[in-house]
Amino acid sequence: MAATDTIAAFLAAMEAAGMTPVEPIASKLANGGLIRFQCEGDRKGRKNGWAVLHFDGVPAGAFGHHALGISQSWRANAARMLSHGERVDRVREWEAARRKRDLEVLARQEAVARHCQHVWSNSRPANPSHPYLMRKRILGEGLRQQGRMLLVPMYAGSGHLWNIQQIGPDGQKRFAKGGRQKDLHLVLGKPESTILIAEGFSTTASLRRAMGYASVVAFSKDNLTATALSIRARWSDAEIIICADDDAHLVSNPRVLKNLGVEAAQHAARAVGGRVALPPRSDPNE
């Protein structure tokens, strides 16, 4: 079995088990060492997935996911030695296990959503003098407050509240543990002819205050495209402008070598026929 076929079969086994990397990992697998990576459904920055693949003799490896409790070994010749009926049974087992895990994840997310809805209903309007709002010089539009924590609601396109981002006086942010984060956003203002979309709340609120347009919090660069598509589906004629985080410092980082914020904004803009806005740079040659 060629190396490319081995890697393809290995990745297929991972996906059948319920693990889908959010970035290409084939080249990393080809190096033969243990790798860690983020999977679909993981929280931003969490690398719960792991895998190792060896090509000596009969190619073999293993993969797993810490949060989902997945841990499986794999051999290249194992699939070839199975009969057709055995392969069909194996696929059915993987699909059943995957459906079970998906239902378990959904059940946890729904439980967290109910808790967040209770917290939201029993909180008070955000205090304009909250230290975070004062430091960022933004309003608390769309927010509520519980104790000293600002509450930023996270909605699906249907308007269902799934999660809450909490922001402390020092700016520390956290999401409800185990809650859904993917494909959620917050709309500030009433969308009309022009809609702005940005990553974090403070950036979005600053745009809203400065420009007056309805502005949408996507919560992360990875969620920009999903947010843009949701907004386009609801406001089909609006001009959508993706306001990028300019990660110019990452271009020289040997582990990154690209501007993640700008690239994510460009991808989102292309998906909806929108435009990209960049913040001004102190050094135009950066």
**pLDDT tens figures, 198-235:** 999 999 999 999 999 999 999 999 999 999 999 999 99
Question: Per-residue DSSP letters for 188-234?
Answer: ES---SEEEEESSHHHHHHHHHHH-SEEEE-SSGGGHHHHHHHHHHH
Other Cβ atoms within 10 Å of 264 Cβ, number: 22
- How far apart are alpha carbons 168 and 153 in whole angstroms? 15
Domain stops at, among 57, 81, 105: 81
Measured over the CA atoms of residue 210, residue 214, residue 220 and residue 225, the dihedral's sign is: negative
How many domains does the chain divide into? 2
- What pLDDT is recorded for position 284? 54
On whether both 163 and 265 belong to a single domain, the answer is yes
> Which residues span the domain enclosing 203?
126-277
Which tokens hold the place of 45?
């920055």
Report residue 26 CA to chain centroid gap.
21
Regions in the chain scoring below 50 on pLDDT: 79
On whether both 200 and 267 belong to a single domain, the answer is yes
On whether both 51 and 175 belong to a single domain, the answer is no
- Structure confidence by residue, pLDDT tens digits, 256-277: 788 899 999 999 999 999 999 9
* pTM higher than the cut 0.85: no
Domain stops at, among 81, 109, 143: 81
Does 285 reside within a domain?
A: no
- What pLDDT is recorded for position 83? 64
Cross-strand partners of 71: 64
